[in-house]
Amino acid sequence: MTNDMFLIYDSGELILEGYSEASFQLDDDDAKSQLDFVFKLNGGVVAWKSSKQATTADSTTEVEYIVASEAVKETVWMKNYIQELGVVPSIAEPVVILQ
């Protein structure tokens, strides 16, 4: 059971970092692209997503914009959630999402 398991971070500033990847029309059958991202909080993975794009993109640029948009939405949610927990006032540093 995981009821007695939890994450422990030091008392310093929380650092949230993200990584995203998009693969243009990876599936030959339906021409859908793959979207992936992962977020780490002080070095530990706290969120991730890997899914096929719902619509068919026309270019690699379009796919990159879509995955960046999804990753930014997740970033905003996580920053707000951490702030609501009251563990730290906020995440002061900007969140960098590497592609």
Cβ atoms of residues 68 and 97 within 8 Å: yes
How is residue 50 written in tokens? 């890997």
**Residue indicated by tokens 């990584």:** 19
Task: List 50's β-bridge partners, or say none.
Answer: 36
How is residue 23 written in tokens? 């693969």
Can you tell me the distance from the alpha carbon of 43 to that of 64, in angstroms, rounded to the nearest whole number?
Answer: 24
Cβ atoms of residues 67 and 36 within 8 Å: yes
Say what the pTM is.
0.71
The pLDDT-based confidence of 9 (bands split at 50, 70, 90) is low
Read off the pLDDT of residues 28-85 as tens digits, 9 standing for 90 and up.
Answer: 777 778 888 899 988 889 899 888 877 777 787 888 888 888 888 998 898 888 888 8
How is residue 34 written in tokens? 């793959």
